[in-house]
């Protein structure tokens, strides 16, 4: 599987996905830490990928998203943005609505599959 297929599969499998440095429990940079804080404050589960574990993924994501830095937050397969954008959206209340909507629609979809 090439790197674009891997990224697409990750995005298709996770309605809320954060590509970050480290993990939510142990972020490896301040930008990732601030993004995780905003996401966690929304009160919904989210998936993450530690881009430090995979150089090919880290470089592939920059091309895939046309976004040169990390973290990168995706909701329903769409790039939301990095740390500054995510934190601005959190402050305005927009992030929580987007996260809750994505989580609710994912739960509805998984309920229908059961």
Is residue 84 part of an annotated ligand binding site? yes
Query: What gap in Å lies between CA 64 and CA 92, rounded to an integer?
Result: 28
Is residue 21 part of an annotated ligand binding site? yes
Is residue 83 part of an annotated ligand binding site? yes
3-state helix, strand and coil shares in percent for the chain, rounded to the nearest 5: 60, 15, 25
Is residue 12 part of an annotated ligand binding site? no
Considering only CA atoms, which of 40, 59, 44, 49 is closest in space to residue 18? 49
Is residue 45 part of an annotated ligand binding site? no
Q: How many CB atoms lie within 10 A of CB 75?
A: 20
**Cβ-contact 67, 79 below 8 angstroms:** yes
Binding site: residue ranges? Answer: 21, 29, 58, 70, 83-84
Annotated binding-site residues for [2Fe-2S] cluster read 29
What residue numbers does the annotated binding site for glutathione cover?
21, 58, 70, 83-84
């Amino acid at each position: 599987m090439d790197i674009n297929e891997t990224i697409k599969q990750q995005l298709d499998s996770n309605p809320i996905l954060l590509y970050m440095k480290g993990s939510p429990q142990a972020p490896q940079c301040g930008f990732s830490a601030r993004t995780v804080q905003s996401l966690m404050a929304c009160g919904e589960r989210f998936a993450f990928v530690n881009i430090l574990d995979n150089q090919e993924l880290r470089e592939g994501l920059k091309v895939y998203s046309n976004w040169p830095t990390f973290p990168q937050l995706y909701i329903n397969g769409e790039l939301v943005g990095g740390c500054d954008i995510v934190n601005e959206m959190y402050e305005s209340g927009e992030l929580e609505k987007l996260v809750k909507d994505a989580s609710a629609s994912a739960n509805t979809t998984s309920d229908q599959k059961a």
